[in-house]
Amino acid sequence: MPETTSTRPLRILSGIQPSGQLTIGNYLGALKQWVQLQDDYECYYCIVDMHAITVPREPAELRASTRMTAALYLACGIRPERATIFVQSHVSAHAELAWILGCLTPMGWLNRMTQFKDKAAKQQAESVSAGLFTYPTLMAADILLYQANLVPVGDDQRQHLELTRDLAQRFNSQYGETFTVPEGFFPKAGARIMGLDNPLVKMSKSETSDYHAVYMLDEPDQIKRKIMRAVTDSGNSIYFTDDPEKAGVNNLLTIYQAFTDETKEAIEARFAGKGYAELKKAVAEVVVEGLRPIQARYRELTAESDLIDQVLMQGAAKARLVANTTLNTVRERIGFLAAADRA
Ligand code: AQP
């Protein structure tokens, strides 16, 4: 029988792709919440390397990025004794369930995914992989394997999460109650951090321009330089707004709010009558100070030779137990013959 919410604590699943250096978007949209949630929920935080290969990757870079991402999870304050930290490809159930869910997913659902359209548009049409197209079914498998109740993600993942919910419901109605239908959990501030060089696009770790993103491991000087060069507008008033003309100022305020947890009103009062240069200086300062302890902890953790690999090995063992329980139920429900030699 599948586990039910009534027999266990509420579960959380989330992940980040090791597709480059993590940005403050990844931190504010995801990691910062993960740390807060670990004390109240049973949390599974994975490094989704199988998602990362939906666009071409250099193997050595992928390995380095995977370790760097794991170390940043720990450096932010995720504690392996509270939360299970693991690498997606270490738990083969993700790939198997993704295939099964892919067979249940109408192409029309995938055709609607805006992230696919955005990412595909950046590549030559003939080199866009089938994996990039079916990415949302792998993400659904990640979440549903752990019977997650809540999925803390940034705004950009709303559509994928909706598809996960639709798939869970479709499976449940076709084969009987099997999956928990997850809810999204979006941060109050920082759910969508925009590019510093173009505040109309999401800040992304795979954007290559020098002044697009602040990376979590950037030096204080780099952070200041990037923020001082952030695109704003020709006006001089500072307030939160949806007006695309002032998207740059709104983005800076959002970053300030997400790092300080102050209210919008307090922040607007603080910057009333001040100029953009003062706003940028203040934002740079809270970012530098917010990242400083994380960077220090990162340096300590990566100095210990096999600590990260140990955490990942133990995490994978815990994750496999939960994932395989769900997968066995799924196999049985859809009519796969039980393999006599499978544990
Ligand atoms: N700019 C952002 N603002 C708020 N949240 C963000 N997230 C990413 N960018 C922002 C959140 O970070 C988590 C991990 O995302 P991911 O690495 O799995 O994929 P992504 O959303 O595609 O992130 P990137 O940085 O844009 O990666 P690339 O460039 O490789 O595609 C998610 O919770 C996401 O919402």
Interval 245-251 mean pLDDT: 97
- The C-alpha angle with vertex 95 and arms to 89 and 101, in degrees rounded to 5, equals 150
- Ligand 1 atom closest to Cα of residue 155: 35
Question: Closest by alpha carbon to 331, among 89, 97, 137?
Answer: 97
Q: What predicted TM-score, i.e. pTM, was given to this entire model?
A: 0.94
Give per-residue pLDDT as tens, 171-229: 999 999 999 999 999 888 778 999 999 999 999 998 889 999 999 999 999 999 999 99
Strands 183-185, 150-152: pairing is parallel
Q: Is the pLDDT of residue 341 over 80?
A: no
Q: Are residues 253 and 199 in contact, defined by beta-carbon separation less than 8 angstroms?
A: no
Q: Is the pLDDT of residue 277 over 70?
A: yes
The reported pLDDT for the residue numbered 187 is: 83
- Looking at the chain, how many residues does it have? 343
Rounded CA-CA distance 215/43 in Å is: 25
Ligand 1 atom 12 nearest Cα: 26
- Ligand 1 atom closest to Cα of residue 19: 30
| Dihedral sign computed on CA atoms, order 165, 166, 168, 173 | positive
Ligand 1 touching residue 246 (CB < 6 A):
no
Q: Are residues 20 and 206 in contact, defined by beta-carbon separation less than 8 angstroms?
A: yes
Q: Is the pLDDT of residue 78 over 60?
A: yes
| Dihedral sign computed on CA atoms, order 18, 24, 25, 30 | positive
Domains of the chain, earliest start first: 11-186+305-334 (3.40.50.620), 220-300 (1.10.240.10)
Residue in 14, 35, 62, 157 to alter for ligand 1 test, most ligand atoms within 8 A of Cβ: 157
Rounded CA-CA distance 251/198 in Å is: 10
